[in-house]
Amino acid sequence: MKLLTALAITATMFASSASAFDPDDLQKLKDTGNCIGCNLESAILSGADLSGADLSGANLKGAYLKGAYLKGAFMHDADLSGADLNDADLNDADLSGANLKGAYLKGAYLFEAYLFESELGGADLSGANLFEADLKFAIMNGAILCNTIMPDGSVIYSGC
């Protein structure tokens, strides 16, 4: 079980008191590496190692996960709307049914990610790698796909 890096915990603890995340939920994530159904809205988790973490149904709306390691994480039915996942490693992550509407996924690595029935409307996937990702029934209206590697290996240039 992977735990958050000390830097990510420190950054989160000093985040603005206006943040909506639940400090007890953040502590649970730190202690166990999992946080099913937790409220981590607007939490700063940049660069955190959450590989294999179970964040199913968690509220990560507006969370800052830039450069986070979420390889193999379980985030099905999680709310990641407006979250910053730029340059995040989401290789083999389960994001089925997740709300990623308006999320920032520039340069994100989504190789073999499971995005079945996920909401990606308005998400910025510029430069993201979706090779062999499962996008079956995903909603992608208005998604930015500039230099995005699609599941079949083709590169999309729309929205550049």
**Cα 23 from Cα 78, distance rounded (Å):** 18
Assess whether pLDDT exceeds 50 at residue 14.
no
Mean pLDDT of 51-55: 98
pLDDT at 157: 82
**Mean pLDDT score of the chain:** 90
pLDDT at residue 12, rounded to an integer: 44
> Does 158 or 16 have the greater pLDDT score?
158
What mean pLDDT is predicted for residues 128-134? 98
Q: What percentage of the chain has pLDDT greater than the value 70?
A: 87
Task: Indicate if the pLDDT at residue 114 is higher than 70.
Answer: yes
Which pLDDT score, from 0 to 100, does residue 124 have?
Answer: 97
pLDDT at 16: 43
Give pLDDT, residue 10. 38
Q: In which band, very low, low, confident or very high, does the pLDDT at 158 lie, cut at 50, 70 and 90? A: low
Question: Would you kindly state where each structural domain of the chain is located, as residue ranges?
Answer: 1-160
Q: Quick one: average pLDDT of 28-55?
A: 97
The answer to whether domain 1-160 has CATH 2.160.20 is yes
